[in-house]
Structure 1
Amino acid sequence: MSLTSEPLLDDAVPPRPGRADTSTRLRALGSRWGLPLLSVVVFLIVYQLVAVSGIWSETFVPTIGTIWDAFVNLSTTHDGVRGYADYYWWEHLYMTLRRVLAGVLVGVVAGVLLGLAMGSVSWLRRLLEPWLTFLRALPPLAYFFLLVIWLGIDEAPKITLLALAALPPAAVATTAAVSAAPVALIEAARALGASRAEVIRDVVVPAALPETFTGIRLAVGMAYSSVVAAELFNGIPGIGGVVKDASNYNNTPVVLVGIVLIGLSGLIIDGVLRAIEHRAVPWRGKA
């Protein structure tokens, strides 16, 4: 038997990252960013083909060039007019985001606290759940005019509407998450002498966080989908107000610009919420 044999595993040279690792990373990047970008490009091509086909009038289906011109007009001073209704698009978007932020903060905080209470106290859940379901089933326009009668046409009815839109998803998700907290962990904490407040703080709340964050994201989405309704009256400056005002004059390009701005800002906000959730609940999907 020869003394010179195959090298031991300890002496083996560790493999260097090669083309396989690079191709894997490229495929991952392509799957994450390439497919969404491809879908956008395909949508724009199909939309442009439909717009130039003449099936519908350009008043209803404007070309991408016309929509771009509307965006440029919203971004500049033209013919003595500053943007749209004397505000640039980012000023409209800022006012809308400020209203959404105020409404979401009120609605989410109230919804999470209400969900914690309803999930922890069974009789309170039975008492309030029908009212919560009733509010969740109502479309925003159903009670916005009542809010205008009560609160006027300034900021109060808008923020109240957005808060009422955000409250039910946050409350329902938190209630379900608290009710589904692991009974074994709760009983173990009580056996070790933890008080009710300590059980809620150290066991129930961490267990409910993943579903609560899902409810918060849904709450933000519901509030954002109510922006146009919230800005029906005295909504300028505001993207929803721009969409509503432009629709009165069949100004479809401006309406589409407003819709795109609302959608893109909503995607960014949801991405921020996802990042916060990833930091706050790193164990989600792992345990």
Structure 2
Amino acid sequence: MRHAALPLGSLLLFLVAWQLLAASGTWSDTLVPPPAKVWDAFVTVSTTHDGVRGYNGTTLVEHLGISLRRIAIGGGIGIALGVLFGLLMGTVGRLRALFEPWITFLRTLPPLAYFSLLVIWLGINEEPKVTLLAVAAFPPVAVSTTTAVAAVPKSLIEAARALGGSRWDVVRDVVVPSALPETLTGVRLAVGVAYSSLVAAELVNGLPGIGGMVKDAANYNNTPVVLVGIFTIGVSGLIIDGLLLRLERAVVPWRGRA
């Protein structure tokens, strides 16, 4: 109860401050709608109302599900490639010198900087969206895995080789377990980066999709629906990060203890 009291208290304080700000009349309802209007918009986009199903014929849950599928495919590809490149660059110095500048260059680019190029190359369907999310998720995992692999104590590697371990045995039994905690941290960061790139990925032909819903509602100054989309992205992101944190604790229970 004590752990739940602070988050619930901060949420209640936020809602009270929001209501007071909306009721003050400083800004119009279009700019700062009251919480009741946002709740009505949430109910409207989540159900069939007056013969209209959700937003643009798709309910909120379906919008979110389509976006999560894009993140799962694109982010999954980026994470898998990031782990593979991280293992290779961490163990082979020449590969690190070859690829690390390009990965750093890619990591510093905002998604909008290359999304238009992806649309030109791949069209306006699912390919540029999935590719952008994969490109966004790749650098954090590659960097964290490379750093973790390079930081594995040499004494452990030499001890494993002295006991007759092959190169594969050393990688499987020494390098991977040692690098796994930092790699999972990189995975959490990659999922966060992919999620933050979601609206950018759905700028073009993003409906159905939660980011596309936010973009389309913004075009019509439909602020309540925009806020519903933003809150949905944030809450679902918190849930996903919590699940990844639980997975990390289950997979690497020794972290912080050894």
**TM-score by shorter chain over 0.5:** yes
- Where 2:203 maps in the other structure, the secondary structure is coil
- Where 1:61 maps in the other structure, the secondary structure is coil
Give me the whole-angstrom Cα distance separating, in 2, the residues matched to 1:143 and 1:156. Answer: 14
State the Cα distance separating 1:38 from its structure 2 match: 1.2
Match of 1:271 among 242, 246, 256: 242
Q: Deviations along 1:11-61, whole A, 9 cap, x unmatched? A: xxxxxxxxxxxxxxxxxx41x222111111111111111111111111111
Give me the whole-angstrom Cα distance separating, in 1, the residues matched to 2:5 and 2:184. Answer: 28
Give me the whole-angstrom Cα distance separating, in 1, the residues matched to 2:24 and 2:252. Answer: 50
- Where 2:94 maps in the other structure, the secondary structure is helix
State the Cα distance separating 1:82 from its structure 2 match: 1.1
Q: Deviations along 1:107-137, whole A, 9 cap, x unmatched? A: 0000001000000001100110110000000
Write the letter of the residue equivalent to 2:7.
P
Instruction: Please report the TM-score for the alignment, with normalisation by the length of structure 1.
Output: 0.88
Query: 2:94 maps to which residue?
Result: 123
Query: 1:46 maps to which residue?
Result: 17
Q: Deviations along 1:154-181, whole A, 9 cap, x unmatched? A: 1111000000000000000000100111
Query: 2:58 maps to which residue?
Result: 87
1:226 aligns with 2:197: yes
Write the letter of the residue equivalent to 1:106.
I
Match of 1:193 among 159, 164, 169: 164
Give me the whole-angstrom Cα distance separating, in 1, the residues matched to 2:22 and 2:237. Answer: 26
Give me the whole-angstrom Cα distance separating, in 2, the residues matched to 1:91 and 1:47. Answer: 28
Write the letter of the residue equivalent to 1:215.
G
Q: Deviations along 1:56-109, whole A, 9 cap, x unmatched? A: 111111000000010011012223221100001001001000000001110000
- Where 2:255 maps in the other structure, the secondary structure is coil
Instruction: Please report the TM-score for the alignment, with normalisation by the length of structure 2.
Output: 0.98
Write the letter of the residue equivalent to 1:116.
L
| Equivalence map 1:6-155=2 (5 Å) | 29-30=1-2, 32-155=3-126
Write the letter of the residue equivalent to 1:218.
L
Match of 2:218 among 247, 259, 276: 247
Instruction: Please provide the CA RMSD for this pair.
Output: 0.8
Write the letter of the residue equivalent to 1:179.
A
Give me the whole-angstrom Cα distance separating, in 2, the residues matched to 1:146 and 1:88. Answer: 31
Write the letter of the residue equivalent to 2:124.
I
Query: 1:286 maps to which residue?
Result: 257
Number of positions where the alignment pairs a residue of Structure 1 with one of Structure 2: 258
Rg comparison, structure with higher value: 1
Query: 1:204 maps to which residue?
Result: 175
Write the letter of the residue equivalent to 1:161.
L
Unpaired runs of 5+ residues, structure 2, are none
Query: 1:165 maps to which residue?
Result: 136
Unpaired runs of 5+ residues, structure 1, are 1-28
Give me the whole-angstrom Cα distance separating, in 2, the residues matched to 1:96 and 1:165. Answer: 15
Name which of structure 1's ranges 73-82 and 236-245 shifts more when overlaid on structure 2.
73-82
Give me the whole-angstrom Cα distance separating, in 2, the residues matched to 1:36 and 1:120. Answer: 43
Match of 1:213 among 163, 181, 184: 184
Q: Deviations along 1:223-254, whole A, 9 cap, x unmatched? A: 00000000011111100000000000111100
Query: 1:9 maps to which residue?
Result: none
Using the aligned pairs only, state the percent identity.
66
